[in-house]
Structures are given as C-alpha cells and as structure tokens.
Amino acid sequence: MKAMILKKIGSMGKNKTPLELADLPIPAPGEDEILIRVSACGVCHTELDEIEGRTPPPRLPVVLGHQVVGWVEKTGARAKKIKAGDRIGVGWIYSACGKCKFCRQGNENLCGDFRATGRDADGGYAQYMTVPEDFAHPIPPIFSDSEAAPLLCAGAIGYRSLRLANLEDGQTLGMTGFGASAHLVLKMARHRFPSSRIFVFARSDKEREFARELGAAWAGDPAEESPEKLDRIIDTTPAWTPVVEALKNLEAGGRLVVNAIRKENLDQEALKQIDYSRHLWLEKEIKSVANVTRRDVRDFLELAARIPIKPEVQEYPLEGANQALLELKERRIRGAKVLRIGQKTKL
C-alpha cells in the first residue's frame, strides 16, 4: 500500500518535505482490531508537533494522521460489533488501558497508557490502517468522507474545549486563533449559545474575514484589546503571546481554555509580561485541554449531524501531505485540510 511516512524528526523550516512516499505491506488486524481502507484523512497541527519533535512518536518510521475516515475491509476474530463494509472514523484516541482510575471515571484522555493514532500507532496517511474496534466510530450518513475527517479531531477537541470552557448562553466568548478547530467551535457555539457574542483574534486578514462570514461579532488582531471583556476564551494558537493577550481581555472570574497539545516556545519570553494584577487576579482561571475521549468524538459527531455542522474543507492527494502541512505551518488556512486517499489495491 501507499503511505506517507515520517522517518526523521526535524524542523519544517529546514526540511519542507519531512514525509516520504513509501510502499508498505497492508497491515493485518489483530484479534480485536479491524482493517480500514482509508478514504480521507484530515491534516492537523499536531502533526507538525510530531514532525518537529514537540510530541515525538516513540518509534520511527511512523505513519501520521489521526482524523481518519474509511471503510472496514476485514475484522479480527474477536471483533464482532463492526462489520466489513461499514464506514467508520478514527480520532486521536487509538487506545487507553480501560483499568486505571482515569479510564474508570470516563477520563480516558488522561490515562497514563493513552495511545495516540498516528503517533503511538500508525495512522491514516496511508491506504490502509488497523485500529481496535472499540476505538472506531460510526460516521453519520449526512457527511461525505472528506467532511467527516476534520470532525474527528478538530471538531472533537473543539467540542471538548467548549465543554471545558463552561460557557453559559449570553456570556461572551473569545477565540484566539482561527484554524480548523476554531471554525468548528464558532459554528457549534453559535448554535448552542445563540445569545453569546463571539470575538475572534486572528493574525491574518483572511482568517478574520472568514470568522466574520461565519458570524463572529468582532474579529481583530491578537494584539488588539477586545471591545469588551470576555467571560470565556479558547486559545488554539501554537504561541504564548496570544495567551498573555487573552488573559488581559478576560473578564473577572473568567476562564481561559488552552487547546494545544504543545506550544512552540519561540516566544516564551512573552510569559514574563504576565502581571498578576492585570492578567490573573480577580479569580481568572486557566485550563488546558488534553487529548479526547471516545465520548467526545461520538457526542460531537452526533451533534454535528443534528445541527448540522459541516466543515469547510480543502482537499489534497495523499502525495500532497507535505504541501498541506507546509501551508498549515505558514498559516495559509481556510477551514480544514484533508487528504483524499481512496484508491483500492489488491489484498
């Protein structure tokens, strides 16, 4: 099968083509696993964190990709819930232990043995992949394969961030950064909290324009002061300056949710600007978001189908993965980037 593989960690500034096209054997599903013929795989900022070593894969080479939509080709001997021919999706959560205190409380995203798709196990930048059947999710029929892909990470993690933000209808919501996840959060928030006004901070004109098109009450540069104090803010940027700016705009008793697996640390110095009285006092809170649970993925897919929320997608062929990642790195973003895979090879 064709796959785009990562062999070496390094900066994309130096190596603009970190992934190589390879011909790999089609993986065989284990007893509790299923084999999926991949049809679409979303491209996520976390892939840049893997490539550049901020959350490095434990073994190389690895197949990246954790927003996978495909068709079940084969099932393992003990996999009984899913059948060949079903359409399913796989998100960032590839497996968790199921036994620790976090797993037992439904917080499998915090499990010490949390394994991520496309990092700790081969993911969807390939024609085929395997996954434990309990970690594969049915895709509502309303979505095309490409539309469903970004819902599996950008959407699910956005859903989790909005849940952790604990927004009430009528409260103001700020969003710093306006990529794949944020644009889905905006659509979701407008539906669930119709009286809440949304303020978007984004660096590029295009992103700000896109935010206004989708119904943001205001969109400005991250360095600007927001026209009013914000009760909740969700940060999806890879940097620290927007976090400091966001704390300044946060209302007393407000909460900032940082939705990033890693920060890039190029502007870590910005943290020294934090002034306790301006940025943190008055009971402001900061909460990070870690991974997703299966419940986040499934609840979000159902909600997205009901509303409905369809992501804006931009498609690339499998071989165009480096191009898509580079555009993401350079913030040439409108909606979500998806690799279209699809071709059938003989088993």
As measured in angstroms, the least distance from the Cβ of 112 to Zn ion is 6
Among 100-108, 250-258, 268-276, 335-343, which window interacts with Zn ion (CB under 5 A)? 100-108
| Nearest of 150, 160, 152, 171 to residue 257 by alpha carbon | 160
As measured in angstroms, the least distance from the Cβ of 56 to Zn ion is 16
Dihedral sign computed on CA atoms, order 185, 179, 171, 108: positive
CB 152 within 8 A of CB 254: no
Footprint (CB under 5 A) of Zn ion, residues 133-172: 153
Among 107-115, 195-203, 237-245, 281-289, which window interacts with Zn ion (CB under 5 A)? 107-115
**∠ Cα 189 190 195 (to 5°):** 105
**Of 6, 34, 38, 44, which one interacts with Zn ion (CB under 5 A)?**
44
**Of 34, 111, 184, 257, which one interacts with Zn ion (CB under 5 A)?**
111
**Of 9, 12, 97, 270, which one interacts with Zn ion (CB under 5 A)?**
97
Binding of Zn ion at residue 46 (CB under 5 A)?
yes
Among 91-99, 127-135, 189-197, 332-340, which window interacts with Zn ion (CB under 5 A)? 91-99
**C-alpha torsion 267→273→277→283, nearest 10:** 10
Joined tokens for residue 37: 């013929």
End-to-end CA distance of the chain: 9
Q: Using the minimum distance from each CB to Zn ion, give the nearer residue, 27 or 91.
A: 91
Question: What are φ and ψ of residue 210, in 5° steps?
Answer: -60, -40
Report the distance separating Cα 240 and Cα 233, nearest Å.
14
Helices (H), the chain: 45-51, 101-104, 145-148, 154-165, 180-192, 205-213, 241-249, 294-306, 321-329
Q: Using the minimum distance from each CB to Zn ion, give the nearer residue, 152 or 230.
A: 152
Q: Using the minimum distance from each CB to Zn ion, give the nearer residue, 111 or 297.
A: 111
As measured in angstroms, the least distance from the Cβ of 249 to Zn ion is 26
Binding of Zn ion at residue 100 (CB under 5 A)?
yes
Positions in the binding site for Zn ion (CB under 5 A): 44, 46, 96-97, 100, 103, 111, 153
